Amino acid sequence: MFTRGSQAWSIISLQTTRILGIARSIVGNLNRVKVSPVALKEPLPPRHDPHSLYGVIPADTRKLFDIREVCAHC
């Protein structure tokens, strides 16, 4: 390997680490506000009690259950 006997590789590595740290701090301090292309609103509460799903899905997940019934609870 070319850099085996020299310290050139460690100097390059330190410089790269320093440069990446500077770049991360610059990007982290940009005053950019993210604008969403869609209007955001609060989510609606669930129609059914989430704990009622425990009665729809069996404890043994190898048993079959109707996925339409799960979707109806959402």
Q: In terms of C-beta density within 10 A (0-12 exposed, 13-18 middle, 19 or more buried), how is residue 57 classed?
A: middle
- What's the whole-number mean pLDDT along residues 27-52? 83
- pLDDT value for 10: 64
Return d(Cα 63, Cα 41) in angstroms, integer. 38
Q: How many helices (H) and strands (E) does the chain have?
A: 3, 0
- pLDDT value for 42: 92
The answer to whether residue 66 scores a pLDDT higher than 60 is yes
- pLDDT value for 74: 67
pLDDT in tens, 15-38: 888 888 888 888 888 877 778 788
Q: What is the CA radius of gyration of the chain?
A: 28
Provide the token pair at 27.
Answer: 């990007």
Return d(Cα 58, Cα 66) in angstroms, integer. 10
- pLDDT value for 33: 77
